Structure formats: structure tokens, C-alpha cells
């Protein structure tokens, strides 16, 4: 049976650099940082005092006051991004079969904020004062559940939780669901909002966060020799994936075609990547093979690029292994985390959107704050300024704690 082709027909995002997809994309192309002083919690308590927070997000644009009280921030981001993606796609549920449209949106951590708030109430006021909405507010699957309820989507409804690989795994799994013919459309991506005392404190205790506190906008500096940790972020990215024939029949605008997905495990360490880069390299190779893409045809790679000393070095090594040294030195690589910070489970969704828009506009967002060359990070990271060039094929990498690796591949749509 002929494999069904899958295209991207809608985009939605909430991000530290913009509360819509186009706002975010303009900021990324202009090299604007979304990092600033930590404001959601008391920064004096932590070694790292910077974060990439979503600014000016208004949940009342997407929820009633009662709904706001019953939903954690990570769910609010997810529903907002999904509604944007649906509007962008032009899908009209009054004319569609809801059973043929599904949702696969994940979160690495879920409702940590409500857990902390309600635990405090439990200790101070007793179990009788705990919110009856605690469980449905905190569980990770409530992001796709609320999207499904809000938009009336009755197809597969699932979530992924693979730490920082979550968004890319969700996209890849949704891609395969459409290829298999289970449904025709999937809303897919990742969402996260856990800049809380416990969440931030946990990463801070690991010494995983950047301590470049003096100039917050320069704290995230992937591949730069002076990098010393990632900047914690929050946000959401949702893409509408659609079977090609259906998209053409309804006259949808097609951003790009999704062609490949790879996932592997390092089987090495609970937080650190395999120092050989083997797992990440195999993941990229698998994704390219799945899409029938020769490594030499890859135009752009949106790297995981967290700004931690070990991740950036190992990912660089993995790119060389996957693409071969000659093409690895030619391909354009950038880390949009230099601007958005690390949105954890949401990162893969937003970074896939960056790949799709790089194909649409034939421009690659930069890696900002790249000033000091690292001999172990020696590829073309598009330093500090966007690069206008031919972008035919783009790949996004996501590498998560626990050794989870996921890569997704998009190419320019051609009949």
C-alpha cells in the first residue's frame, strides 16, 4: 500500500518571544532574546536568576473565567496554541468529521505549579481545602484532552512525556498515525510551564541552569565556549498535520511536507547524553532514512542546542557522525534556544515551527550570543544574524533526560 503523505497546514505557538506564531517568527529572525530576570518566583533564592518567561499571555482570550480556574498554565498554553493552529489551518468543524481528527500534545512535567500550590494548602489548611480540580489540573494528558474538548476533536487523543524530546516525539507519533490511515488530521506538539520554586529549584540544584545573571538576554549562548547552562523557559507549539489529498481537496495552504521521524535511546545516563553521540546520531540517520532524504540534501538543522557544556559538544559530534564530516561542515545549524530559552517539553513543537517557516521564507534564524569559538563546537551555527539561503529540507533535534532522542524532518512541498 502506498504511504500516505503528510503536510503541515496550521501553526500555533505561545512563546517567550511572542504570543502568536508570526510574532515569534519575527523575533527569531531578528535575533531578539526572550530571556530576562526571573519574575514568577523569588530569584534571590537561586543561583540562576534568569528565565525565558511568556509575557503578557491573556488566558481570557481562550477561556471563560471558570475555565481559567480549572486549568493549569501549561494547559492554557496548549489550548491557545491549538486554537491558533486551527484558525490558521482553515479547518471548519461544521463541515468536518470530528472522528477523523485527533490530538497528540505532550508535556515533559505537566501541572507542577498546581501541585505546589495545593500541597501548601494541604499542609496549612488540611485535605478538606484541597481543590477538587487538583488531579484534572495537574495530569499531563489534560493538555490534549482540553484541546479535544475545546475544538470538538474525536479522533485519537494522546500525550507523550519524554522530557525535552516530548514535542518532537508527539509530532513524529502523530505523523505515523496519519501515514497509517487511522485519521486524516492530527494536532500535535508540546507544552510546558513549570517555572516554579520546585521546578526551577530542581534544575538549579543540578547546576544545569545558566548563571550569566548580569546580562539576562545573553545568558543562553549555545555552542559558545563560555556557556555554562541552559535558561529555563515555557511555552507551547502546535502544528496541524494533515493527509495531503485531504489538504489539497479543501484548498488548504501547505507550509511544508513532513517526511521523516527518528527516535532512539542512549541507554547511557539519566541526565547526561552519551558522550559518543551515538544515540543522537542514529536518531538523525533514522529520520533522514524514513524521509528518503540523503544527508547531503539537508539544508538546515535546528539543533537541540541547550547551552550546556556537555550537550552542545556531544550534539556537534553526533551531527558529524550522522551527516558525515564534509556535509556537517556545510549544513546550516542554529539553536533558537538562544532566544527562547529551553521550553523543555514544548521545545520540539516550537522548533519544528521554526523549521517549517524557514522553508516557507527561505531564511534561517540565528544562534545569538555566539561570541567565543569552542574548538569542540566547530560547525556553522549561523552566528548572531539570520541567514538567507535556499532551504529545501530542515530537521529538528530534541534530546531528553533519560536518553530520549527524537528528530523530525520537513521538506518544501512539491507536487
Nearest to 93 by CA among 50, 49, 11, 149: 149
Nearest to 341 by CA among 144, 138, 188, 194: 194
Point out the catalytic residue in the list 342, 355, 377, 404. Answer: 342
Q: Do 32 and 17 meet the contact criterion of CB atoms below 8 Å apart?
A: yes
Q: Is 212 a catalytic residue?
A: no
Q: Is 342 a catalytic residue?
A: yes
Q: Do 162 and 108 meet the contact criterion of CB atoms below 8 Å apart?
A: yes
Pairing of strands 387-388, 363-364: antiparallel
Residues 6+ apart with CB under 8 A from 65: none
Point out the catalytic residue in the list 194, 212, 304, 382. Answer: 304
What is the distance between the alpha carbons of residues 161 and 141, in angstroms, rounded to a whole number? 9
Pairing of strands 185-192, 332-334: unpaired
What is the distance between the alpha carbons of residues 9 and 292, in angstroms, rounded to a whole number? 22
Point out the catalytic residue in the list 159, 164, 283, 382. Answer: 164
Cα dihedral across residues 339, 316, 239, 246: positive or negative? positive
What is the distance between the alpha carbons of residues 88 and 106, in angstroms, rounded to a whole number? 21
How far, in Å, are 131, 209, 293, 389 from residue 299 at the CA level? Answer: 50, 31, 11, 9
Q: Is 304 a catalytic residue?
A: yes
Residues identified as active-site:
164, 304, 342
Amino acid at each position: 500500500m502506498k504511504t500516505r503523505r503528510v503536510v503541515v497546514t496550521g501553526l500555533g505557538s505561545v512563546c517567550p518571544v511572542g504570543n502568536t506564531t508570526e510574532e515569534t517568527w519575527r523575533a527569531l529572525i531578528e535575533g531578539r532574546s526572550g530571556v530576562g530576570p526571573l519574575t514568577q518566583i523569588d530569584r534571590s533564592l537561586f543561583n540562576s536568576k534568569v528565565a525565558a518567561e511568556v509575557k503578557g499571555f491573556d488566558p481570557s482570550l481562550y477561556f471563560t473565567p471558570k475555565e481559567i480556574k480549572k486549568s493549569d498554565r501549561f494547559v492554557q498554553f496548549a489550548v491557545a496554541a491549538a486554537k491558533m493552529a486551527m484558525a490558521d489551518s482553515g479547518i471548519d468543524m461544521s463541515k468536518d468529521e470530528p472522528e477523523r481528527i485527533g490530538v497528540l500534545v505532550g508535556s515533559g512535567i505537566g501541572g507542577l505549579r498546581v501541585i505546589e500550590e495545593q500541597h501548601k494548602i494541604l499542609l496549612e489548611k488540611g485535605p478538606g481545602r484541597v481543590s477538587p480540580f487538583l488531579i484534572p489540573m495537574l495530569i499531563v494528558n489534560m493538555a490534549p484532552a482540553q484541546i479535544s474538548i475545546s475544538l470538538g476533536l474525536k479522533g485519537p487523543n494522546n500525550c507523550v512525556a519524554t522530557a525535552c524530546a516530548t514535542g518532537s516525539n508527539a509530532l513524529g507519533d502523530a505523523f505515523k498515525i496519519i501515514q497509517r490511515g487511522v485519521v486524516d488530521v492530527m494536532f500535535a506538539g508540546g507544552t510546558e510551564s513549570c517555572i516554579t520554586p520546585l521546578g526551577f529549584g530542581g534544575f538549579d540544584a543540578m547546576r544545569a541552569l545558566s548563571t550569566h545573571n548580569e546580562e539576562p538576554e545573553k545568558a543562553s549562548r549555545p555552542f559558545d565556549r563560555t556557556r555554562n547552562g541552559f535558561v529555563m523557559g515555557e511555552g507551547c507549539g502546535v502544528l496541524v498535520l494533515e493527509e495531503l489529498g485531504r489538504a489539497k481537496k479543501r484548498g488548504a495552504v501547505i507550509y511544508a511536507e513532513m517526511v521523516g521521524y527518528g527516535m532512539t535511546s542512549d541507554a547511557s545516563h539519566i541526565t547526561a547524553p552519551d558522550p559518543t553521540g551515538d544515540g543522537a546520531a542514529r536518531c538523525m540517520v533514522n529520520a533522514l532514512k524514513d524521509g528518503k532524504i540523503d544527508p547531503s540534501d539537508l539544508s538546515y538543522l535546528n539543533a537541540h542546542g541547550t547551552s550546556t557544556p556537555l550537550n552542545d559538544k556531544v550534539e556537534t559530534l553526533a551531527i558529524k557522525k550522522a551527516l558525515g564530516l564534509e556535509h556537517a561542515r556545510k549544513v546550516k545549524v542554529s539553536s533558537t534556544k538562544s532566544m527562547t530559552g529551553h521550553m523543555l517539553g514544548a521545545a520540539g513543537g516550537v522548533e519544528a515551527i521554526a523549521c517549517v517557516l524557514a522553508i516557507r521564507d527561505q531564511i534561517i534564524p540565528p544562534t545569538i550570543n555566539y561570541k567565543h569559538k569552542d574548538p569542540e563546537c566547530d560547525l556553522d551555527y549561523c552566528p548572531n544574524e539570520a541567514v538567507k539561503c535556499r532551504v529545501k529540507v530542515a530537521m529538528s533535534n530534541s534530546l531528553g533526560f533519560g536518553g530520549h532522542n527524537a528528530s523530525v524532518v520537513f521538506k518544501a512541498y512539491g507536487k
